[in-house]
Structure 1
Amino acid sequence: MIRTYELSHESKTPLYVQLYEAIRADILSGSLPGGEKLPSKRALAEHLSLSKITIETAYAQLLDEGYLTSRERSGYFVAHMPLLAKAPARHTPETTKAPEIAPQQNAAAELFPFSVWAKLMRSVILDEGQYLLQPVPNGGLLPLRRAIAEELARQRGLVVQPEQILIGAGTEYFYALLAQFLGRGQRFAIEDPCHRTLAQVYSRSGAEVVPVPMDESGIRVAELEASGAQIVHVSPSHQYPTGTVMPIPRRQELLAWMGRGEERFLIEDDYDSEFRFSGLPIPTLQSLDTRGRVIYLNTFSKTIAPALRISYMILPQALLARWRSTMGFYSCAVPSFEQLTLTRFLDGGYFERHVSRMKKHYKARLQGLLALLAQPETARLCTARQAVAGLHFLLEFHTKERGQSLRAALGDAGLSAPLLSEFYLRKSPAEAERCAVVQYSGLTEADFAESLRKLLQTLRPETE
């Protein structure tokens, strides 16, 4: 029997979102057990009097988040999730405001709203006056922290209070502070491969860094357990450089690992989660955390401009007093002028419109690049992987050239793309020697087509 879901055509929530949430609720409650087959898209569309595309979009979101699995010519099935835990409902933060404390790669340049930013800067200078010259509170200005809390509630379903949000000059700044806060000498687990800067900052800050291997779902929890680490740093929404999006079952495994030790913490680096080109944002680990031990990081450098070194960290309520007592002597490194300009950019709706414009731009660019790769001659040479979110994808080559010979050929063809093997802290697998990490935010179709043309002339397919 096909289940019936009560959906409202009058609601402001899209029908596919209503259906997605209804099916997800049944999975989380156990009403839809693991392994159960869902109706076909056509059958459910007819049963609910909905379009097939509505069903397809809802199923795709559930598939992306790991609630469903698909089998070719068999359909969709509920994923087996032995560590099933109900996700908290999404809602906006409470309206009560914390008392204000006395004042103490790469966004495309052509998309940046310079005129709007300049207007907001002028208004801040005119309106704020002497306020701009006063010391900035340790955690940042309260107006910006409020604006970020409201933006996160709207866009990511995160329920946080402004006092939990701390403002800093880039995520590397927070990496160093967290190494001190959680204890120098602590063992920090990080995903392998990863951005080497992450390992360098933690290591230079006194932490013992332990690389933990990944699989297609993200960091391997069994190896994490064996590592002896008490703290793990992950990027579940879009890992760099692999591009892996961590499904819900693996996220639950990570949270269960955290729950097996009182001093275990998860650091969630959500650095370019805004650039997801289909469906809803994947729920954050922070939103699934019921123990209050997930520390959330994000930055405006990817969405606005790299030169705007403003990042933020969300601490669990239980850690706020400890942070103030041990780290409260640090000054906020972001000037109040930049903080207040960004506050008006958020409050005025400019940020939301800017991100929407950038998503359309980058989605179109990615589709254009993938179309070039889909051409028969090029498809014999290489294949795009993990091209579903973020501003980079993997380019896997089916050629006799590997490692440094492939890297040299890419450079000669004008394609600046490091190999995946260069990001491993331990020995890289053989397949990483034939995968390039392509940052496409500044890559035009014309330039990519020319690089592919040169590569076709120089690289030798495996099948020759």
Structure 2
Amino acid sequence: MLTYSFANIGSDSLYEHLYKSIKKDIIDRKIKPGEKLPSKRNFAGNLGISVITVENAYEQLICEGYVYSIAKKGYFVADINSVTAKTPIVLTEENVVMTSDEQRYLADFSSNRSNVKQFPFTVWAKLLRECLTDYQEALLEMPPSGGVLALRKAIANHLYEFRDMTIDPEQIIIGAGTEYLYGQIIQLLGQDKIYGVEDPGFSKLSQAYRVSGATVKHIPLDQEGISVEELEKENVQVAHTSPSHQFPTGKITPISRRYELLGWASKAADRYIVEDDYDSEFRMTGKPIPALKSIDVNEKVIYLNTFSKSISNTIRVSYMILPKHLMKLYYKRLSFYSCPVTTIIQMTVSRFISEGFFEKHINRMRNYYRQQRDFLVNTIENSKMASYVKIMEADAGLHFIIHLDVPCSDEEFVGIMERKKIKLCALSEYYQRTENRSEHEFVINYSSLSEEQIKEAIDFMSKEVVRLALKNY
């Protein structure tokens, strides 16, 4: 009969130790498939434990598929060839590197992450502790579907002071990232609508709309932004645009085109504009561009913004502002949704804004990013490739475009940089309509890079650009 020692079983209960011992013997083939296990009573008497302990161990083994029972005959070992053939996955150093988002790049110009070292950890920890102390009961309650009122008030006040927008806090809906809010917009306006997105544009946007069942049209840009003529031509009903800093081109939509867009939307009751104002706080020269929402008198603009850019990528707090008639429709149709952002995070962000820390952080980060931008631009202009490069849209936000005079395709140049451990994305990669693609233009994100990374990466890039240019000559 099977015998196991119950000395030194650690923190395990008796039945857990017995279950683990039998399981190990089954996996190690010390107990063969089809072999009958001792009856509960005999087994308990032999081991000096209770029958209920043996019963609990057997039940756990049955649940996991190691043992099966036959009425009036007893317990038998299952055939687990498929289980025992598996070997545990070991995360070697190589596995960890390959699964890491950061990979192994010297510099990643495709990343729009914020710089971790600039996060205000001391202030954030202080506010977090205060919220844990001051709102103990509230933190254990489900927040309203639109989000905690204190955060929505703080956002409304911030937008009034810094974006000249007069917003009722009830119009603000809090979400865990803008992707979540895209889905909410589709559920609110309907899957039967035709949604127009900018081309080139943010690839996740069209994916998010399609996954939610919507029809997506890719609308080309002209020199002033998204084409109103193409919106009409494609019968678009909801236009998604980033007028203050288009991604990835960096274009800024002038006031004339903004009014033209509003005029387009006002022509039909089911037309709306989704204004994505994702990094409006970080315009490098002059004041932030007035939001399209601030000049909308016909309630046609749904405004989106996020704290992922302004505070941290890991602070998954975004928000949308609905026109008042859509706000009423939202609470009628979608108020059954629970707000996906935890109350403690919402309260912390609320205090971060209302106590003035957000404004200080934005000012500090704007100065920091301006220095990073200036350093990067100066490094490029003083590099060996200066005569082969043109910098465009450098003042609008946290990325800009460079045009490189190189005698190879975008794909080839990106591959060359990849081999030099520099990650680069060509502007052409963001186009869906191939007839509009531009060549030899590359998107340069700099928010997460140090000066050392910038210097080394531009040095490598310069050598390759000059080598390719001279080779062609």
Q: Which runs of 5+ in 2 are unaligned?
A: 1-111
Secondary structure at the counterpart of residue 433 of structure 1: coil
Q: Aligned to 1:171, which of 164, 178, 189?
A: 178
Q: Which runs of 5+ in 1 are unaligned?
A: 1-104
Deviates more, 1:194-203 or 1:448-457: 448-457
Backbone CA RMSD of aligned residues: 1.4
Deviates more, 1:367-376 or 1:125-134: 367-376
1 CA distance for matches of 2:152 and 2:338?
Answer: 16
Q: 8 Å contact 2:238–2:274 — kept in the other structure? A: yes
1:186 equivalent to 2:206? Answer no
1 CA distance for matches of 2:374 and 2:446?
Answer: 11
Deviation track 1:330-385 (CA, whole Å, cap 9, x = no partner) reads: 11001111011111111110000001000000001100111112226322222221
After the TM superposition, which segments of 4 or more aligned residues of structure 1 sit over 6 Å from their partners? none
Residue in 1 that maps onto 2:289: 282
Deviation track 1:167-221 (CA, whole Å, cap 9, x = no partner) reads: 1111000101111111112100010011110000000101100000002211111
Residue in 2 that maps onto 1:36: none
Say if 1:449 and 1:381 are closer, same or farther in 2 by CA, change over 3 A: farther
Secondary structure at the counterpart of residue 343 of structure 1: helix
Q: 8 Å contact 2:383–2:458 — kept in the other structure? A: no
Write out aligned runs for 1:107-256 (5 A): 107-256=114-263
Deviation at 1:389, TM superposition (A): 1.9
Write out aligned runs for 1:335-346 (5 A): 335-346=342-353
2 CA distance for matches of 1:335 and 1:452?
Answer: 42
Q: 8 Å contact 1:164–1:317 — kept in the other structure? A: yes
Q: 8 Å contact 2:183–2:208 — kept in the other structure? A: yes
Work out the number of aligned pairs and report it. Answer: 359
1:451 equivalent to 2:457? Answer yes
Residue in 1 that maps onto 2:469: 461
Residue in 2 that maps onto 1:263: 270
Secondary structure at the counterpart of residue 301 of structure 1: helix
2 CA distance for matches of 1:453 and 1:376?
Answer: 7
Residue type matched to 1:365 in 2? Q
Say if 1:368 and 1:332 are closer, same or farther in 2 by CA, change over 3 A: same
Secondary structure at the counterpart of residue 442 of structure 1: coil
Deviation at 1:279, TM superposition (A): 1.1
Residue type matched to 2:226 in 1? I
Deviation track 1:97-154 (CA, whole Å, cap 9, x = no partner) reads: xxxxxxxx22221111101100111111111111100111010011111000000011
The structure with more radius of gyration: 2
Q: 8 Å contact 1:381–1:456 — kept in the other structure? A: no
Q: 8 Å contact 1:190–1:199 — kept in the other structure? A: yes
2 CA distance for matches of 1:208 and 1:179?
Answer: 10
1 CA distance for matches of 2:383 and 2:358?
Answer: 40
2 CA distance for matches of 1:358 and 1:160?
Answer: 26
Residue in 2 that maps onto 1:102: none
1 CA distance for matches of 2:153 and 2:464?
Answer: 55
Write out aligned runs for 1:391-410 (5 A): 391-410=398-417
Secondary structure at the counterpart of residue 277 of structure 1: coil
Deviation at 1:415, TM superposition (A): 2.6
Secondary structure at the counterpart of residue 179 of structure 2: helix
Residue type matched to 1:441 in 2? S
Q: 8 Å contact 1:421–1:428 — kept in the other structure? A: no
Write out aligned runs for 1:71-86 (5 A): none
Deviation track 1:295-314 (CA, whole Å, cap 9, x = no partner) reads: 00000011111111000110
Residue in 2 that maps onto 1:76: none
TM-score (norm 1): 0.75
Residue in 2 that maps onto 1:362: 369
Q: 8 Å contact 1:297–1:312 — kept in the other structure? A: yes
1:377 equivalent to 2:384? Answer yes
Say if 1:451 and 1:155 are closer, same or farther in 2 by CA, change over 3 A: same
Residue in 2 that maps onto 1:69: none
Residue type matched to 1:304 in 2? I
Residue in 1 that maps onto 2:358: 351
Deviates more, 1:433-442 or 1:225-234: 433-442
1:272 equivalent to 2:301? Answer no
Q: Aligned to 1:434, which of 433, 440, 452?
A: 440
Q: 8 Å contact 2:228–2:260 — kept in the other structure? A: yes
TM-score (norm 2): 0.74
Residue in 2 that maps onto 1:330: 337
2 CA distance for matches of 1:109 and 1:443?
Answer: 10
Residue in 1 that maps onto 2:47: none
Q: State, as a whole percentage, how many aligned pairs show the same letter.
A: 40
Secondary structure at the counterpart of residue 366 of structure 2: helix
Q: Aligned to 2:423, which of 404, 416, 425?
A: 416
Residue type matched to 2:453 in 1? D
Secondary structure at the counterpart of residue 461 of structure 1: helix
Deviation track 1:420-458 (CA, whole Å, cap 9, x = no partner) reads: 11111121545x331111110122333223223223333
1 CA distance for matches of 2:459 and 2:147?
Answer: 50
Residue type matched to 2:198 in 1? E
Secondary structure at the counterpart of residue 279 of structure 2: coil
Q: 8 Å contact 2:202–2:430 — kept in the other structure? A: yes
Residue type matched to 2:398 in 1? L
Residue type matched to 2:200 in 1? P
Q: 8 Å contact 1:413–1:452 — kept in the other structure? A: no
